[in-house]
Amino acid sequence: MNNFTIGKYLPLDSFVHKLDPRTKIIMLLLIMGAVFIKSGWIGYFIILGFIALSLILSKIKISYVLNAFKPLIMMMVFLIVINVLVIKEGNLIFSYGFIKIYDKAILDTLYISVRLLIMISASTILTMSSNPLDLTVGIEKLLKPLGRFNFPYEDVAMMISIALRFIPTIIEETQKIMNAQRSRGVDYEEGKIKEKIQAVLSLIVPLFSTSLNMAEDLASAMEARGYIPQEPRTRYRDLKYNIKDYIVFLIGVLLVVLLVWVSYYAI
Amino acid sequence: MNIIEIKNLKFTYDNKEVILDDVSLEIKKGSYTTIIGHNGSGKSTLARLIAGLLDKSGGDIWVNGLLLKEENLKHIRKEIGIVFQNPDNQFIGSSVKDDIAFGLENKCINPKEMDDIIFKYASRVGMENFLDKEPHLLSGGQKQRVAIASVLAINPSIIIFDEATSMLDPKGKKEIKDLIKNLHKDSDKTIISITHDIEEAYHSDYIYVLNKGKIFKKGKPNEIFNNSKELNNIKLDVPFNVKIKEELEKNKIKIESYNSVEEIVENLCRLKLKN
Ligand SMILES: Nc1ncnc2c1ncn2[C@@H]1O[C@H](COP(=O)(O)OP(=O)(O)OP(=O)(O)O)[C@@H](O)[C@H]1O
Ligand SMILES: [Mg+2]
């Protein structure tokens, strides 16, 4: 259970926590888009400043956000190394055997790293400051216009909320099965590759069968409590925009306008 | 009046193995009926058929005078609630209050009224202080209480418990059993309990014994448990007090009543005093 804390909801009492989840999702999308406006380092500083401000307003400790990067470090290092080695533009600044590094490569890689930093920290702030249930309702409401094109937005939202509900149960189940198999002598930590594969199979097969049972039981329970897909139902958790959300939207629009202005006139 | 009537019900999953064969039964409104039988005798299947979760292969089911068929399904579902065996797999919402709200949402209840309803039924099962708790922070017994509250919130006239206590520890078992008993006493709901708990069956109003997809025996508890050999043949036990009674009778000792072990002890002591 403990290794599942990345981006996990932190119930705090803050300005950002009290925002409507839809506002936060839209702001995240806005930032994701804004990252691609070619506004140079000035632009990135503006966006980073905005993220820093959201972090302060959310009362989330910066170390929590940094933790979210941990599992991604390997991937990022890999990306950076590949980038530095592959891009062959600009002036050659370092050469050792077949390794040739150009100044443009370093600059481009820096840009990409900053973009990743921005996107990951922005999404982490979103998930840490929003109750997953409200987030699901927010996603459902934002997807609602797609319903006109027969997009099953209600089903998608139901699927997300059920997945969220069952993640802890499945982790618990996994641990139970692992303990049961350990007591029968299965070793999950050491052994040859062949033994390791066998160990993993001894975990996956029962896990798969429990999950299927779980799904079947759950479907019965839902049906028995009157759930019929695609039939109208009310929602216990309802969302409402209030004045704070409008202010944040306004700031978001200003941010984009500023970045576009920078991209045209300041560089 | 019978709230459930079943005539010549047949069921098979694959047209080969017959799971339920010519099952007929009646359940009185407001009664506490238990269904007992060995593993695989078809008890859960019967429960699912009554609740319209499975399609019968033959025969008829009436619920509250309404024939169970496609057009009536929605209406009949509102009359019947089921509490299943596995506490985790029937916890649909991500927290206690969301779980109780799920059925209300399906009934299209106004969200503004939901909090009151949720509180009312959570209090009924003693979970009112756990409304925001997530399922993995609750014990099995607590989860079953929530399942009961969720079913009560839909306000069905019939509640089926399909081995609702079998995955709980002894303390949880007792709590849920007492809760069901009180529920039956305080409301006019019809209770159908599928159980392996012979003592629970002994204290119910009426018993159906299922064996290999057929009704093996039906009747009041005293009628069901007057022949332990017959039940042992289909791998069912009889309550402890009935066993003592049979042993006493073998030894030609007669006592007035034997409803519980305590009663038997008391009666035996009196007998001793008399002699
Ligand atoms: N989905 C299924 N497909 C095929 N056969 C099934 C299915 N579910 C159950 N059965 C079979 O139906 C028969 C009756 O099962 P059922 O679950 O109704 O028994 P039960 O009396 O509830 O037993 P238990 O006391 O173990 O809960 C069993 O022989 C079982 O193998
Ligand atoms: Mg069963």
Q: Does an H or E element contain A94, and which? A: strand A92-96
Q: Does an H or E element contain B213, and which? A: none
* Enclosing domain of residue B207: 2-237
- For ligand 2, a single-atom ion, the residues with CB < 5 A are B 44
Same domain, A4 and A103: yes
A214 burial (CB, 10 Å; 0-12 / 13-18 / 19+) is middle
Q: What pLDDT does residue A2 have?
A: 44
Same domain, A12 and A121: yes
Residue A158 lies in a domain: no
How many domains, in total, are found in chain B?
2
Q: Are A15 and A76 in contact (CB under 8 A)?
A: no
Q: A132 at the B interface (CB within 8 A)?
A: yes
Q: Which residues of A touch B107 (CB under 8 A)?
A: 226
Q: What pLDDT does residue A1 have?
A: 40
Is B92–A165 a contact, with Cβ atoms under 8 angstroms apart?
yes
Q: Calculate what percentage of chain A has a pLDDT beyond 70.
A: 97
Same domain, A171 and A264: no
Same domain, B136 and B8: yes
Q: What pLDDT does residue A6 have?
A: 56
Same domain, A61 and A183: no
Tell me the backbone φ, ψ of residue B88, rounded to 5 degrees.
Answer: -75, -45
Q: Are B106 and A227 in contact (CB under 8 A)?
A: yes
Q: What pLDDT does residue A50 have?
A: 94
What's the gap in Å between B196 CA and the centre of ligand 2? Answer: 10
Same domain, B143 and B196: yes
Is B109–A132 a contact, with Cβ atoms under 8 angstroms apart?
no
Q: Provide CB contacts within 8 A for A82, sequence distance 6+.
A: none
Same domain, B139 and B248: no
Query: Any idea what DSSP says for residue B129?
Result: G
d(CA A19, CA A129): 9
Which of B77, B94, B108 minimises the CB distance to A133?
B94
Look at residue A209 and tell me whether its pLDDT is greater than 90.
yes
- Of A27-31, A64-68, A147-151, minimum mean pLDDT range: A64-68
Q: B133 at the A interface (CB within 8 A)?
A: no
Instruction: For residue range B8-26, list pLDDT tens digits in order.
Output: 999 998 878 899 999 999 9
Given a cut of 50, the residues of chain B with pLDDT beneath it are none
Same domain, A2 and A126: yes
Q: Does B19 sit in the ligand 1 pocket, CB within 6 Å?
A: yes
Same domain, B154 and B249: no
B65 torsion bin: left (phi>0), alpha (psi -120 to 50), beta (else): left
Same domain, B31 and B61: yes
Q: Which ligand is nearest to the CA of B16?
A: 1
Query: Between A and B, how many CB-CB pairs are < 8 A?
Result: 91
Is A234–B109 a contact, with Cβ atoms under 8 angstroms apart?
yes
Residue of B10 and A96 predicted with greater confidence: B10
Same domain, B138 and B255: no
Is A133–B95 a contact, with Cβ atoms under 8 angstroms apart?
yes
What's the gap in Å between B85 CA and the centre of ligand 1? Answer: 13
Q: What pLDDT does residue A3 have?
A: 45
Largest distance between two CA atoms of chain A: 70
Closest-CA residue, ligand 1 atom 8, reads B45
Same domain, A246 and A116: yes
Q: Are B30 and B189 in contact (CB under 8 A)?
A: yes
Same domain, B273 and B228: no
* Enclosing domain of residue A19: 1-130+240-267
Q: Are B171 and B204 in contact (CB under 8 A)?
A: no
Q: A162 at the B interface (CB within 8 A)?
A: yes
How many domains, in total, are found in chain A?
2
B244 burial (CB, 10 Å; 0-12 / 13-18 / 19+) is middle
Same domain, A124 and A256: yes
Same domain, B11 and B25: yes
Same domain, A79 and A5: yes
Strand locations in chain B, DSSP E? 2-12, 18-28, 32-37, 58-63, 66-67, 80-83, 158-162, 190-194, 206-211, 214-219
Same domain, A58 and A87: yes
Instruction: For residue range B105-136, list pLDDT tens digits in order.
Output: 999 999 999 999 999 999 999 999 999 998 98
Please report, for the domain that includes residue B37, its CATH number.
3.40.50.300
Same domain, A124 and A197: no
Query: What is the ipTM, given to two decimal places?
Result: 0.89
pLDDT class for A85, splitting at 50, 70, 90?
A: confident
What's the gap in Å between B44 CA and the centre of ligand 1? Answer: 7
Residue A182 lies in a domain: yes
Q: How does the average pLDDT of chain A come out, rounded? A: 87
Which of A169, A223, A237 minimises the CB distance to B53?
A223
Radius of gyration of chain B (CA): 20
Same domain, B167 and B245: no
Which of B10, B18, B23, B41 to mutate for ligand 1's pocket (most ligand atoms within 8 Å of CB)? B41
Residue A3 lies in a domain: yes
Same domain, B124 and B14: yes
Closest-CA residue, ligand 1 atom 3, reads B13
Interface of B with A in 37-56 (CB under 8 A): 48, 51, 53
Instruction: For residue range A1-33, list pLDDT tens digits in order.
Output: 444 455 678 888 999 999 999 999 999 999 999
